[in-house]
Amino acid sequence: MVTKVEIAQPGPSRLENGRGWFRQVQGVLEILDPEFDPVRQYDLGEHISSFAVSPDLSCVVVGGQDHIRLVDEHGNVLWSVQHAPWGTGYSYSGSCEFSADGKTIWATVPETELDSDEEDGLWEDDEVAAASSGGWSAPEGWGDQWWVMDATSGRIIGRKWLGCEATGSATLRHPDQVHMGLSVGEGQDGSRIYWGSLDEGSLHVATTGDVSRALADVHPDGSAYLTLPRDSDGLTIHDFSSRAVIAHRPNGEFLESGEWPLHARYLDGETVLLETVDGKWNCARHLVFDARSLEYLGEVTYPTGISCSAFHSVHAGTWATGDASGLYQWRLDV
């Protein structure tokens, strides 16, 4: 154990940029510094699909039922852009994230028509280039859309079809500060992975016909990414440039009966921490793997009286777990 801090419930989650923590209570988002002291708070409002904090903590982008808006620390809405409402079809929830420099916002929305539909290049070209199963190419031309927006004005810079209808999704920044990863869950229909980038103002999005894996994390140096299975396929590491599988660990080699992998993150460039759950969605174990080969290194053993719980890691070699008595920060001792 590195530190223990007594905090009010519910416990906070780590900001992706590693500069602090956040906690959401009844529509209010509270930002905490690395020592858990309050920094500022934002009123998110009701019917929130997603939100993301800017890299400098100065504002929050909020994905609502039928709009995306930018809110500053004083509660002022700096801009708002409408889209088709979530939940009218099979699209139920989206995700949003700032680029690493804070200049753009990447957000998913249900199928939405704009005045510029005939002119923005969203249609025929993407349908022709749609991905065949197993090959990376443009998504099919239907379903939800991925928008890239100017963070200052809310202007839509680019948008592409995703060829799916999301139950939920998560957006991850790539360390190269160019690419964004998107993991989309479709409920019983599976899960999909997308990579997007802006090239001289043009948005490029690639995926495959595979609906069996979810994007878990990106290696700190950006050379690889980690995926989790929707079924019994196991933990996998992919080369980022080629998307090829470079390491694979079948579920049967590390899971016990009635257990399955739920959450995985790189602790640092050398190790991966995996959370497993039981049939009642309780955290069962935390397992450690080599970050290059997926060699199984062992199970985390916590001190007496501390149970396994959902963890947070920002690639600094430590992770945090929480329970009713506080938040604990850990470092591996092997």
The predicted pLDDT at position 119 comes to: 52
User: Under DSSP, is residue 17 helix (H, G, I), strand (E, B) or coil?
Assistant: coil
CB 26 within 8 A of CB 17: no
User: 292-302 as b/e, with b when 16 or more CB fall inside 10 Å?
Assistant: bebeeeeebee
Q: Which range has the worst mean pLDDT, 14-28, 35-49, 58-72, 315-329?
A: 14-28
What percent of the chain clears pLDDT 90, i.e. is strictly above it?
A: 60
Question: From the centroid of its chain, how far is CA 191?
Answer: 13
pTM for the predicted model, two decimal places: 0.92
Given a cut of 70, is residue 180 above it in pLDDT?
Answer: yes
Cβ atoms < 10 Å from Cβ of 54: 18
CB 185 within 8 A of CB 194: no
What tens digit of pLDDT does each residue of 133-150 get?
567 999 999 999 999 999
Given a cut of 90, is residue 128 above it in pLDDT?
Answer: no
